[in-house]
Structure 1
Amino acid sequence: MATIVDVAERAGVSISTVSHVVNGTRRVAEKTRASVLKAIEETGYRQDALARSLRRSLTDSIGLVVSDTGQPAFADMVRGVEAEATKAGYTLLLANSGEDPEQEARTLEALSARRVDGLIVAPSAGSSGEAIDAIRNSGTPVVLMDRVGSGDSGDQVGVENLAPVRELVAHLVGHGCRAIALAAGNLNVSTISERYLGYAQAVKEAGFTVHPGHVITGSGLSQETCAAALDMLGDRGPLVPPDAVVCSSTETAIGVLEAASRLGLRIPDDLKIAVFDGFPHADLFEPRLTTVEQPAFEIGVTAMRLLQKRITQKPGDGEAWGSEVIRLKPRIVYRTSCGCAS
């Protein structure tokens, strides 16, 4: 009886190539495909038996790599991925890259070695994307969550970043603010750079100038942001201190709030604040914080659903195998920190 080895040898290809032809798990050149099919016919090997023997072995496990599981938004995304993965019968392997591209690459390699069926990744700041591309090229599906890599054109699930920040700035202008700053953080992070772009567009549309001295960059950690905000808000530079600050994350918001407290600034009387990231318990602060609330849990659920689709999808299913970019809409909740009455 002919074997898979016989088919591969007669066609002059590898065993894995025969598998890809029969199961449709990867694109194969038409000439090669024809050679494999001819070899199957000549050896008398039954295609259904071959398909059963070569069917891809699944581990029913999913890898999830995020840059910082301690961040509230990421924690909710992880819960969303986990809930959907459990429902679908997958075991979730969770790892934290710590915003370290090298650690991210090592973690991705380790998960790939465990033969996970697919990966969901929130790339670290400064990630080149090479490790992710290598895994994709090996045939393992990858979905990027929340953040995207430089020039990445694969599957992505995240939130709209630009439009909500534009709306926040316009809202603050409506409250009479004329010097609006941005506590941005790390501009190498795609979400942060998009929020910066929304800020810059809105400031210019309002007829004002974007001053570098009114944009706090850096690590985005609260202590570093606080130190920069003390200089910016404390009239220690050539610019007029801002009368409002849009914070691009929970971490930067903590830093700005600490700086305002040390300087004795009253919110919203002396300084108006709005926060992107859904500050935890924002409605319990005094004053209550205006926030952009991300559908973080839904982002995780959506990312897992897309990954499951890729795991089960085969070329030739009648559906175009193109990448998907899904952006969910956040919700702005206006409270007293921006000058609203309630």
Structure 2
Amino acid sequence: MATMVEVARKAKVSISTVSHVLNGTRNVEPETRKRVLAAIASTGYRQDALARALRRSQTDSIGLVVSDAGEPAFAEMVHGVEHAAVENGLTLVLANSAENADREKKAVQTLLNRRVDGLILARAAESDPALLQALEQEKPPTILLDRIFSQLPFDQVGADNRETMRQLVTHMIVSGHRRFALVAGDVRVPTLQERMGGFTDASLEGRLGLDEQLIITGTDREALAEELGNSLRTGQITAVIACSTPLAALSLRTLARAGISTPRDIAFATFDGFDNSDLFQPRVTTVRQPAFDMGAAAVHLLVERLRTPEASPRTVRLQQRIEWRESTEDYRRQPAGD
């Protein structure tokens, strides 16, 4: 295996000049740099990444822990993180907590043991508060992704969940809907809690009776489906909104089992949506998260945090997009007030 000495000899420069070219620690004249790179290529020299990391106290790697890598929105976030990491010369180490607090803690500790330069964390629903307390004390650069928590001393990236839900429901109220079923799921998750808050905002603004709206919460999928199915039998619900992709699948299955057609019998909309959603008949109205951009934004915040560790924490919220499709169309209903 070639050594740095051989590279220096072949390029007719000092060993320190080779080091500066490899590590970018000092400007080197273009012609000299070109000779060094040619010597590296011809000798087949490979830098010892571990030794370099120890010298620089950096590994040029970042850790990402997501709560559900299989969910489409999180998968897109991972792609965004990976893309931005490569652009910044960083290697990504990925872990999936599967919404399990113990797995989350172990994953974070493993990544820190690997000396990653920083962490991006999409917290599990049952995340142990002690984990963030430990991160706050140990102070590894940490970005919280997707699930935003107020008054935390960390940089955070999320979406405008509450406002987008308000817009979605307001539009449907204007279209004539007065009785909704909101399948909110596990509202311990801040993202789902924000979406439920947006539903409440729109209902109050639209002068709907909140006690006449069905908000279905919880973690037991069978219980959620049963409650939705029972509400549909009354014939009073005219619109169903699911707050995530798994909840959308559960809701659509429940509608199908009840023999209810969308949008003929009931309107339906969801957050996050499905891959290849245009294949659904009817096509489903979807609030699309800027998931890829959220992942990339988390990396950019982390790079800034590495450069300026004493800067004040920032929270970035990206806009979501409502894709209106046939599942919310019902030409029998007229706008309210007509």
TM over 0.5: yes
Tell me the matched-pair count: 278
Q: Distance in 1 between matches of 2:296 and 2:95?
A: 18
Separation of aligned partners in 1, 2:180 and 2:134: 42
Amino acid at match of 2:106: R
Maintained 8 Å contact 1:122/1:148:
no
> Is it true that 1:290 corresponds to 2:280 in the alignment?
no
Q: Distance in 1 between matches of 2:306 and 2:249?
A: 40
Find out whether 1:97 has 2:97 as its counterpart. Answer: yes
* Bigger Cα displacement from structure 2, 159-168 vs 272-281: 272-281
What corresponds to 1:134 in structure 2? 134
Deviation string, structure 1 residues 139-158 (Cα, Å, up to 9, x no partner): 31000000134742410001
Look up the match of 1:226. Answer: 225
The normalised TM-score by structure 1 is 0.77
Identity of aligned residues (%): 41
Kept after mapping to 1: 8 A contact 2:179/2:236: yes
CA distance, structure 2, for counterparts of residue 291 and residue 302 of structure 1 = 23
Give, as a single letter, the amino acid of the residue that structure 1 aligns with 2:232: L
Determine the structure 1 residue equivalent to 2:270: 275
Identify the residue that residue 260 of structure 2 maps to in structure 1: 265
Q: 1:336 matched to which residue of 2?
A: 326
What is the match of residue 158 of structure 2? Answer: 158
Displacement, 1:194? 0.3
Distance 1:183 1:93, change over 3 A: same
Instruction: Please give the secondary structure, in 1, of the residue aligned with 2:210.
Output: coil
Deviations 1:206-235 (A, max 9, x none): 1112238711111275x5533332122123
Q: 1:309 to 1:269 in 2, by over 3 A?
A: same
Cα distance change, pair 264–191 in 1 and its aligned pair in 2 (3 A) = same
Query: Counterpart of 1:250 in structure 2: which amino acid?
Result: T
Q: Are the aligned partners of 1:66 and 1:95 in contact in 2 as well (CA < 8 Å)?
A: yes
Give the deviation of 1:115 after TM superposition.
Answer: 1.4
Per the alignment, do residues 192 and 314 of structure 1 end up closer, same or farther by CA in structure 2, a change over 3 Å counting? closer
Spell out the pairing of 1:169-318 with structure 2 (5 A cutoff): 169-211=169-211, 214-219=214-219, 221=221, 223-235=222-234, 241-315=236-310
Contact 1:118–1:141 (Cα < 8 Å) also in 2: yes
Match of 2:58 in 1: 58
Q: What SS does structure 2 have at the residue aligned with 1:211?
A: helix
Which letter does structure 1 place at the counterpart of 2:225?
Answer: C
Question: Deviations 1:166-196 (Å, cap 9, x if unpaired)?
Answer: 1111111122111012010100000000000
- The separation in 2 between residues aligned to 1:131 and 1:55, in whole angstroms, is 29
Code of the residue aligned with 2:231 in structure 1: it is M
Letter of the structure 1 residue corresponding to residue 155 of structure 2: D
Distance 1:303 1:339 in 2: 36
Q: Check the 8 A contact 1:229/1:255 in 2, yes or no.
A: no
Q: Is the 8 A contact 2:267 2:330 kept in 1?
A: no
The question of whether the paired residues in 2 share the 8 Å contact of 1:61 and 1:117 is answered with yes
Cα distance in 2 for partners of 1:116, 1:169 equals: 43
CA distance in 2, matches of 1:101, 1:219: 15
Q: Aligned partners of 2:82 and 2:72: how far apart in 1?
A: 15
Q: Quick one: distance in 2 between partners of 1:99 and 1:224?
A: 19
Aligned equivalents of 2:60, 2:239: Cα separation in 1? 49
Q: Which has the larger displacement, 121-130 or 68-77?
A: 121-130
CA contact (8 A) 1:177 1:243 kept: yes
- Separation of aligned partners in 2, 1:91 and 1:228: 45
Taking structure 2 as the reference length, what is the TM-score of the superposition?
Answer: 0.77
- Name the CA shift for 1:297/1:224 in 2 (closer, same or farther; >3 Å): farther
